[in-house]
Amino acid sequence: MKAKEIIRTLKFVLFSAGAGIIQTVTFTLLNEFVTDKYWYAYLPALVLSVLFNFTVNRKFTFKSASNVPVAMLKVAAYYVVFTPLSTW
């Protein structure tokens, strides 16, 4: 494996871990201090996590600038379908 691919993989893993931390902290803060309803804490935490992961991985890991709105719509469509299924 080339050094460039190893670095790209490490960036992806670290940014994904960062997204997980953002989701965990956001969920915990909302759940403990704002609401005790699961969905009211889970959805904002998930949205922040996905936005962070999508943005930093596009910009820093894959350096992709092509058609961001279309890519974001595809990500949103995925989560609209699979978020309710995964929590059901």
Residue range 33-74, pLDDT digits in tens = 999 899 899 999 999 999 999 999 988 888 887 788 898 899
Position 5 scores a pLDDT of 92
Domain edges within the chain:
3-87
Percent of the chain past pLDDT 90, that is, above it, reads 66
Cα–Cα distance, 80 to 85 (Å, whole number) = 9
Note the pTM of the prediction, 2 decimals. 0.83
Position 64 scores a pLDDT of 80
Position 61 scores a pLDDT of 86
Position 63 scores a pLDDT of 83
Average pLDDT over residues 6-35: 96
Compute the 3-state secondary structure of the chain and give helix, strand, coil in percent, each to the nearest 5: 85, 0, 15
